[in-house]
C-alpha cells in the first residue's frame, strides 16, 4: 500500500453510455439504451459500440485544434476537459501549471480518403515518388504525418487545456492504460506531485486496427453476442475517451473540492499466458493490495474483452472470478461499452468511482451468465480487473471517500 492517500477528484468519460454520470448510470441499468449504441453496419462484418453526438467545441474551442485531431484525439481531449471541469481545475492557470499528465494511446491513424486519392493518382506518373511525397506533405494533418503517437496525444491535450506540469506517455495496448494509472498512483502517493491528469482514448472504427485484430483471430463477426458466451474470436470494440484527476487529500482539502473516491492501489503485470499463469498473477496482485477475502460488499468490474471467451483468456478470467470472488457481484462491462483497448482499464476505474459514490453497483449486464449471478447490496469498494484481455494483467482497488 502507499503513504499518501490518492484521491479521485474528477473524471471524464466519453463512451457509448453518454458523457454525464447520470446518463451513464441510466444506460447501464437499461439494456435497450446501451444496445442502441451497437453498430453492426458501419464496420461490417465487425460490430462496434459507438459514442453518440457530442459538442467537441465545448472542450476544444479553437477550430484549428479541432482540425488537427483525429477521432481518438478528439475523444481524449474531450474527456480530459470533462475531468478537469469536475475537479475544478479548468482555466485555473496556476493549478494547471502544477498538474502532471500521464497518458496512453495507440499508434498512428490512417487518413483513408487521402490514401485513396494517392493510390488513384499515382498510377502511370513518371515522377510518382516525388508526387506522392508532395501529396503527403500537403494532405496529412501534422498528427497523422507523425503517426499520432502518444507524445502527440499528450501534447494536444496540453495545448488545448493548458496542462503544463511534467508529461509521460505509454503505448502498448491494454497494459499502456493500466501502467499510466499505476505510475500516476505511485508518483502521487510518494509525494512526487499533488495533482495528476491520467487517461487514454480509443477509436473503435479504425479499419487498420480491425484488420490487424481480425488477422489474429480476435474480432467478433456478424451480429452482437453476449460477452461471456462468445466464440474465441470475441472482441467487439468500443470507442472511448477516459481521463481521471488524481490528487492528494491535502491538495483537495486546500482547494475545497470534493473527493469522489479513493484509489487504494494499482498493480500491473505480464505473463506468458501458460496454463495457470493468469490465476497466479491474480492472487499475487490481490495479496499486494492486501484486501483480504472478496465478499458481497466488494463489486468487481471485469476487464474481460471477449477474446478467448470460449476457451482462452476471457474464459480464464471468468473461471478466476468464480473461484476468487464467488460471493461478489461481477459485471463484465465490455458487454455494454465494448472493448476500448488502451482506455479499457481506465474506463472501468471511472465506472468504479461512480459506483462507490452511489454505494451500489448497477444491474447485471449479462443476467444469464453464472459469473454475474451474485446479488448486490450496498458496496463500499470496487475491484477493477484486467486479466481477460490480450496484453498485460492489472488490478485496481477503488473505495468510497469516507
Tens digit of each residue's pLDDT (9 = 90 or more) over 278-333: 778 888 888 889 887 788 899 999 999 999 999 988 998 898 898 888 889 999 99
Cell output for 113: 480518403
Q: Give residue 217's pLDDT band: very low, low, confident or very high (50, 70, 90).
A: very high
Q: Compute how many other C-beta atoms are within 10 angstroms of the C-beta atom of residue 160.
A: 22
Residue 134 maps to a domain: no
Residue 231 maps to a domain: yes
Q: pTM surpassing 0.85?
A: yes
Cell output for 191: 509525494
pLDDT tens-digit profile of 144-195?
Answer: 544 446 788 898 899 999 999 999 999 888 999 999 999 999 999 999 999 9
Residue 377 maps to a domain: yes
Q: CA gyration radius for the chain?
A: 21
* E strands, 303-346, in order: 330-332
20 closest CA partner among 48, 65, 66, 52: 52
Stated as kind and residue range, the H or E segment containing 278 is: helix 277-289
Residue 1 maps to a domain: no
> In the β-sheet with 99-104, what is the strand arrangement from edge to edge?
167-170, 99-104, 195-202, 240-248, 6-14, 261-269, 393-399, 381-385, 298-302, 330-332
Q: How far is CA 77 from CA 48, 61, 80, 316, 365, in A?
A: 21, 11, 5, 35, 29
d(CA 201, CA 205) in angstroms, rounded, equals 13
Residue 127 maps to a domain: no
- Give the contacts of 276 (CB within 8 A, at least 6 positions apart): none
d(CA 274, CA 253) in angstroms, rounded, equals 47
pLDDT of residue 144: 55
Give the 3-state secondary structure of residue 399: strand
pLDDT of residue 145: 47
Residue 352 maps to a domain: yes
How many CA atoms, within 13 angstroms, populate the side-chain half-sphere of residue 247? Answer: 30
d(CA 188, CA 263) in angstroms, rounded, equals 11
pLDDT tens-digit profile of 225-267?
Answer: 999 999 999 999 999 999 999 999 999 999 999 999 999 999 9
Residue 117 maps to a domain: no
d(CA 247, CA 107) in angstroms, rounded, equals 29
pLDDT of residue 352: 98
pLDDT tens-digit profile of 364-385?
Answer: 999 999 999 888 889 999 999 9
How many CA atoms, within 13 angstroms, populate the side-chain half-sphere of residue 312? Answer: 19
d(CA 221, CA 51) in angstroms, rounded, equals 20
pLDDT of residue 237: 98
CB of 400 within 8 A of CB of 381? yes
Residue 339 maps to a domain: yes
329 closest CA partner among 378, 293, 391: 378
Handedness of CA 174, 179, 172, 354 (dihedral sign): positive
CA 131 vs. chain centroid, Å, equals 39
Residues 356-362: contacts with CB within 8 Å, 24+ apart? Answer: 356/261, 356/380, 356/381, 356/382, 356/398, 356/399, 356/400, 356/401, 357/21, 357/260, 357/261, 357/400, 357/401, 358/25, 359/400, 361/299, 361/329, 361/331, 362/25, 362/28, 362/29, 362/331
CA 55 vs. chain centroid, Å, equals 20
Give the domain extent around 326.
Answer: 6-109+148-399
For residue 211, pLDDT beyond 80: yes
pLDDT of residue 1: 45
The CATH number for 302's domain is: 3.40.47.10
If one counts the domains in the chain, the total is 1
Amino acid at each position: 500500500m502507499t503513504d499518501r492517500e490518492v484521491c479521485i477528484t474528477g473524471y471524464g468519460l466519453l463512451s457509448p453510455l453518454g458523457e454525464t454520470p447520470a446518463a451513464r448510470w441510466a444506460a447501464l441499468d437499461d439494456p435497450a439504451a446501451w444496445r442502441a449504441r451497437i453498430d453492426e453496419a458501419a464496420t461490417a462484418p465487425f460490430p462496434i459500440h459507438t459514442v453518440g453526438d457530442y459538442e467537441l467545441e465545448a472542450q476544444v474551442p479553437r477550430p484549428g485544434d479541432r482540425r488537427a485531431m483525429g477521432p481518438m484525439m478528439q475523444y481524449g481531449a474531450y474527456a480530459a476537459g470533462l475531468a478537469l471541469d469536475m475537479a475544478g481545475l479548468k482555466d485555473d492557470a496556476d493549478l494547471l501549471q502544477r498538474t502532471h499528465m500521464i497518458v496512453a494511446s495507440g499508434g498512428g491513424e490512417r487518413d483513408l480518403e487521402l490514401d485513396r486519392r494517392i493510390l488513384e493518382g499515382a498510377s502511370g506518373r513518371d515522377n510518382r515518388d516525388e508526387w506522392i511525397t508532395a501529396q503527403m506533405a500537403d494532405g496529412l494533418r501534422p498528427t497523422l504525418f507523425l503517426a499520432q503517437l502518444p507524445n502527440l496525444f499528450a501534447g494536444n491535450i496540453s495545448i488545448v487545456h493548458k496542462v503544463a506540469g511534467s508529461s509521460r506517455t505509454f503505448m502498448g495496448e491494454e497494459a499502456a492504460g493500466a501502467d499510466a494509472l499505476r505510475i500516476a498512483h505511485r508518483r502521487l502517493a510518494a509525494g512526487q506531485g499533488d495533482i495528476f491528469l491520467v487517461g487514454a482514448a480509443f477509436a473503435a472504427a479504425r479499419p487498420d486496427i480491425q484488420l490487424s485484430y481480425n488477422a489474429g483471430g480476435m474480432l467478433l463477426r456478424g451480429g452482437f453476442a453476449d460477452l461471456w458466451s462468445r466464440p474465441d474470436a470475441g472482441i467487439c470494440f468500443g470507442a472511448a475517451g477516459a481521463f481521471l484527476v488524481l490528487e492528494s487529500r491535502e491538495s483537495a482539502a486546500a482547494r475545497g473540492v470534493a473527493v469522489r473516491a479513493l484509489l487504494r492501489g494499482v498493480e500491473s503485470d505480464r505473463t506468458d499466458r501458460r496454463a495457470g499463469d493468469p490465476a497466479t498473477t491474480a492472487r499475487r496482485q490481490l495479496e499486494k493490495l492486501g484486501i483480504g477475502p472478496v465478499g458481497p460488499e466488494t463489486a468487481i468490474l471485469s476487464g474481460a474483452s471477449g477474446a478467448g471467451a470460449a476457451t482462452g483468456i476471457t474464459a480464464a478470467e471468468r473461471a478466476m472470478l468464480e473461484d476468487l470472488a464467488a460471493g461478489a457481484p461481477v459485471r463484465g462491462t465490455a458487454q455494454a461499452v465494448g472493448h476500448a483497448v488502451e482506455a479499457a482499464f481506465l474506463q472501468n476505474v471511472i465506472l468504479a468511482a461512480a459506483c462507490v459514490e452511489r454505494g451500489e453497483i448497477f444491474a447485471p449486464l449479462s443476467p444469464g451468465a453464472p459469473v454475474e449471478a451474485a446479488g448486490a447490496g450496498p458496496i463500499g469498494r470496487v475491484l477493477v480487473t484486467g486479466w481477460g484481455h490480450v496484453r498485460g494483467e492489472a488490478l485496481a482497488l477503488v473505495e468510497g471517500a469516507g
